[in-house]
Copies of this chain bind each other. A is one copy, B any other.
Amino acid sequence: MTDLVTFGETMLRLSPPDGERLETTDDLELRAAGAESNVAVAASRLGASAAWTSKLPDSPLGRRVVSSLRQHGVETDVVWSDDGRQGTYYLEHGGKPRGTNVIYDRAGAAVTTAESEELPVERVREAERFHTSGITPALSETLESTTADLLAAAREAGTTTSFDVNYRSKLWDPAEARETMETLFPDVDLLLVAERDARDVLGREGDADDIAAGLVEEFDFETVIVTRGEEGALARHDGEVYEQSAIETDTLDPIGTGDAFLGAFLARRLAGDGVATALEYGSATAALKRTIPGDVAVVTREEVESVLAEEGGEISR
């Protein structure tokens, strides 16, 4: 049995080297990247048995996605399609004041037509945990209802569900996002939300604890985690509040930080750890992720524990 099943789009990420611009570069790095598969990778690397399900074009590009995830021990359960594209995104990393620029090229992706009938719903039901994010229902109407179906199926079967708000302004506007997500929340056990999204999208006010408390109250989540960037994270779980500080990093690539955090958190929860310990692992895994190029946390549990033991950051020889 798989501990964790995640569902969502995984794209190919194309990025020029070292500050170069898409307009002039001749070279692109190619990596697979997707919020939900990033979570599965982090969970797998931290020891969970993790799977990812989605719909991909039957092409070298779709196969590339699968190969990349398998590297990290993630099982893939994919509907291969003759229609639809492989979604991609182009990424330019620039320092201040340029920032990191993401150009999505995901319209018409095969996954946008994925219906729950063709997906491995039984597997979701049998898993201990099921995870998806707010990106998925934003991609198409079909995916909106598929997401709802899967969350409902999971909930019904006793699979613990998690949902990362992951608001993307290039996909929809806050009002749409809020409306859609709030219809999904009743089937969600664990909600992860960035403090900014909580305010701008979910219309929350107050500090992180107010946000978490309000969300629990309104939607009856078992767990709410509010991430706060360099200020760490705050969780509410079964009426208790947990504060987790962030670890200082030399950031090479910030993309995927939240997914690494959540993947590690879920892995430790699946392994039986409490929320406080799981948050610590999440925080250390997220910190390591930021030192690694690409969307996924290519780390080991030993490395995460070494960060927690404050041994990292020097030369080990």
Contacts and interface: CB of A to CB of B under 8 A. Distances in A.
Nearest to A65: B23
B291 A60 contact: no
Contacts of A98: 288, 291-292, 303, 307, 312-313
Contacts of A313: 96-99
A103 B59 CA distance: 8
Contacts of A20: 292-293
A26 to B, nearest CB: 5
A314 B293 CA distance: 17
B71 A67 contact: yes
B24 A27 contact: no
A31 B251 CA distance: 26
Interface stretch (A116-124, A175-183, A242-250, A274-282): A242-250
Given A14-B14, A71-B24, A252 B95 contact: yes
B312 A60 contact: no
A11 to B, nearest CB: 11
Interface residues of A, number: 74
A102 interface: yes
A104 interface: yes
B100 A315 contact: yes
A72 B312 CA distance: 33
B63 A23 contact: yes
A73 interface: yes
B248 A97 contact: yes
Contacts of A232: none
A25 to B, nearest CB: 6
A147 interface: no
A203 interface: no
Given A23-B64, A88-B88, 19 more contacts: A18-B18, A19-B293, A21-B298, A23-B63, A24-B298, A27-B29, A28-B30, A70-B71, A94-B288, A96-B249, A97-B307, A97-B312, A97-B313, A98-B291, A99-B312, A99-B316, A108-B108, A169-B317, A170-B317
25 contacts: A18-B18, A18-B252, A20-B292, A24-B67, A24-B71, A26-B26, A27-B29, A27-B30, A28-B29, A28-B30, A59-B103, A68-B71, A70-B71, A71-B71, A88-B105, A95-B250, A96-B312, A97-B287, A98-B313, A99-B313, A99-B315, A100-B314, A107-B108, A169-B317, A255-B315
